[in-house]
Amino acid sequence: MADVGAHQVGEGLFGLLVQFARALRNSGIPVSASEEIDATAVTAAVDLTQRWQLREGLAAAMVKNPQHRRTFDVIFDIWFPSASGAPSTVDRQLRGDESDVDELRRRLTEALLRGDEDDLRRVAEQAVASLGRQSAGPGRQSWFSYRVMRQMSPETLISTLLADMLRRPDTDEPPSAMDEMVARATISDRTARFRRQVEAETRRRLVEERGADTVARHAVPALADQVDFLRATRDDLAELRRTVQPLARRLAARLAIRRRHPRRGRLDIRRTVRASLATGGAPVVTHFRPRRPHKPELVVLCDVSGSTASFAHFTLLLTRALREQFAKLRAFAFVDGCDEITRFLGPDIELPDAVSRLMSEARVVQFDGHSDYGRAFETFEDNWPDAVGPNTSLLILGDARTNFRDPGLASLKNLVSSARQAFWLNPEPRRHWDSGDSVAGQYAEVLPMVECRNASQLAHFVQQLLPH
């Protein structure tokens, strides 16, 4: 195991920790002064020649939220790299031509079969050294992980790996479906570990060339609750879905605290006047009526087309997780048709199944599959006229891009006038509203439109929507 670089200790480990803590704060991870002092104590308690001890010690002192650990690990790799220069495991004879790629893929196949972390790391280091360097402009070169993964193509090795993993030399019986499922999951997990090793080695090389501050500004992934819905990758969405339940629990806990300490209601004139008799008619002591929190009925109408689908799915999952906070929850989805999807959000349905069934069974596409807000509003108004009533909070999710079709303002005004309150959540940046086919400005004249680009903004809005 590589140790913490001697040059870092020479520059002052304390100063390095200060810069490391600043980088964590810049990424959104809260680090207090006392936690920074604890981190300094960690360096005296662990063996600095064992890098993993320093990583775990600093994580214990500075990370309070498990969802921040992924970002912490990336920043740790930037400020405390595993080595400097080319690793000793790199075979300098490889130069990245076609025969070298075949040799690297052979090594990768063996490493994926064994599943040993050190083997995967050595192959990743060799692959980055041989394939990761590329021109990044006139007279300039840089390191790229996507170039390495494209040439190594571990996904094309799946059939070979499956055949080796499922081979049974001592029996003629074919492997069961369960065996194949376990083998596929194992391969997927090891491939993901190899990808992370390649990304870590690429970042390390970039840090050596450009410096930690520069790389930290561009290579640190956003925290899960700060990921832009419209730019989220598949891994980001998986991480977001894992945050649904913890986020819902935190929101529910805050509401419970509010209910235990409710704000005062309206002035109780009768009790106040009666109490003033003891002070000669002066209302020294005032009494207020207890505040009765309203538990709203919620109707969610969401655009599930194209890029807004991930935003709509996450919002639906969050509102489903908070369903006990509402008197009634109904959900509807649309593209150029509209259908009720409440049945897919039952408490006994797993989250991935809910999303999968929503897309395959709901009749949300009836024509060309492009968003048609006007038709969707009219269909909703005609087919479910009683869905929105005086006790209903109406929540509309979408980017307000109508593909230059009728925006259906008349139907929208009818819906908003029937509801107790109505809001529109738009996942696009406000500066993009009213550009191209967006009619966000016209909709915003009918009901309040809120920019909602990440889970943090969504949680804040839902907290305001729920009863106080």
Give me the pLDDT at residue 93, please.
58
Edge-to-edge strand list for the sheet holding 449-451: 338-340, 328-334, 297-303, 392-397, 421-426, 449-451
Average confidence (pLDDT) over 262-283: 81
Q: How confident is the model at residue 277 (pLDDT cuts 50, 70, 90)?
A: confident
Give me the pLDDT at residue 260, please.
60
Q: How confident is the model at residue 177 (pLDDT cuts 50, 70, 90)?
A: confident
Cβ atoms 31, 81 nearer than 8 A: no
Global pTM? Answer: 0.62
Percent of the chain with pLDDT over 70: 78
Where are the extended beta strands (E) located within 82-238? Answer: 133-137, 140-143
Distance CA 343, CA 331 (A): 9
Q: How confident is the model at residue 416 (pLDDT cuts 50, 70, 90)?
A: very high
Average pLDDT of the chain to the nearest whole number: 80
Helices (H), 211-233: 212-219
CA 96 to chain centre: 36
Among 301-310, 327-336, 414-423, name the one with the lowest average pLDDT: 301-310
CA 122 to chain centre: 30
Average confidence (pLDDT) over 286-299: 74
Average confidence (pLDDT) over 266-290: 85
Give me the pLDDT at residue 446, please.
92
- pLDDT tens-digit map of 194-213: 988 888 888 888 888 888 77
- pLDDT tens-digit map of 321-374: 767 667 788 888 888 888 888 887 776 666 666 667 776 788 888 777 788 899
